[in-house]
Chains A and B, each alone.
Chain A
Amino acid sequence: MSLRPGSRVRARAGDPDHHTRVPRYVRGHVGEVVELEGEWPLPDDRARRIDPPRVEAVYAVRFPAAELWGEGTHTITVDLWESYLLEEPS
């Protein structure tokens, strides 16, 4: 997956059995990549003591309030590991 600022992405909707850091309120919703935040160990692996954990790109992804809540004019930017995201056709 090659994501860059402006890429449209969908947060994975699944609810894994293990620890994850995809906030429930963005699951299944479409946002836009704002920037790459570097590469960091995946918390899902660290919480399960998978050694070494996968190290993945983390992206700031901006969601319009109306996409998440059906109303509102603000934006919410959420920081998401690459495997939490699916590329969305534009």
Chain B
Amino acid sequence: MTGTHSELPVAARVRQLEERVIAAGLATDAELDDVLARLYDGASPVNGARMVARAWADESYFRRLLADGNAAAGELGLGDPYGLGYRLKAVANTPQQHNLVVCTLCSCYPVSLLGPSPSWYKSLAYRSRAVRKPRAVLAEFGLELPAGTEIAVWDASAETRYLVVPARPAGTGEMPEDDLAALVTQRGLIGTAVV
């Protein structure tokens, strides 16, 4: 296995699973390494942040992003040469609606645009409580939403991966796009923070 967590107990379990898969003739070690390399090659929240900054700076890009996330990613050269491998849906925060992404069944998430997922995103606690008590979960992340802001939770249970477009912070009107992108965090792209 390619990785940097070989000292963790879970690494031994993963390796046992890999050995079963290889013994069953379903894949080779090299194929498993290749899948992981392709999954994580270039994967970073910098990619999602670039898309958000472009949307903030360019109203027509914002509209295209909401209409077709894959095409909007492609405009910035993200996902080439094979495409993202999933359907990308961008959901924009407004004063009326805050968006929060979860995968209750496992940990689905747009890895190429957000980077490897944080451990809390994969935790049973987050996955079960985000759909049940999202306002309380957000408060535990330090995000107290106004009472009038509705929460829309998106459970990525099929082939769509969700990207939250945070609201643009006030006072950034003159800021260049690269500086805007630097404001956007991984948590902001999942919806457990605002920017």
Give the size category of A's interface with B: 20 to 34
From A69, A73, A77, A79, B159 is in contact (CB under 8 Å) with: A79
The total number of A-B Cβ pairs within 8 Å is 59
Q: How far, in angstroms, from A82 to B151 measured CA to CA in the complex?
A: 26
Q: A23-B105, A73-B150 are in contact. Are A79 and B134 (CB under 8 A)?
A: no
Asked if B135 CB lies within 8 Å of chain A CBs, one says: yes
B132 lies within 8 A of chain A by Cβ:
yes
Q: How far is the CB of A64 from chain B (nearest CB, A)?
A: 11
Q: Are B155 and A38 in contact (CB under 8 A)?
A: no
Interface residues of B (CB under 8 A from A): 87, 89, 104-105, 131-135, 150-160
* Residues of the B chain whose Cβ atoms lie less than 8 Å from the Cβ of A58: 158-160
- A77 near B153 with CB under 8 A, answer yes
- Does the CB pair A76–B160 fall under 8 Å? no
Is there a chain B Cβ closer than 8 Å to A60's Cβ?
Answer: yes
Give the complex CA separation of A78 and B47 in angstroms. Answer: 25
Does residue A48 face the partner (Cβ distance < 8 Å to B)? no
Q: Which residues of B contact A38 (CB under 8 A)?
A: 87, 159
- In the bound complex, do residue A74 and residue B156 qualify as a contact, i.e. CB atoms below 8 Å apart? no
29 contacts between A and B (CB under 8 A): A21-B105, A25-B104, A25-B131, A37-B87, A37-B158, A40-B158, A58-B158, A58-B159, A60-B89, A68-B131, A69-B132, A73-B151, A74-B151, A74-B153, A75-B150, A75-B151, A75-B152, A75-B153, A76-B131, A76-B154, A76-B155, A77-B152, A77-B153, A77-B155, A78-B155, A79-B156, A79-B159, A80-B158, A81-B158
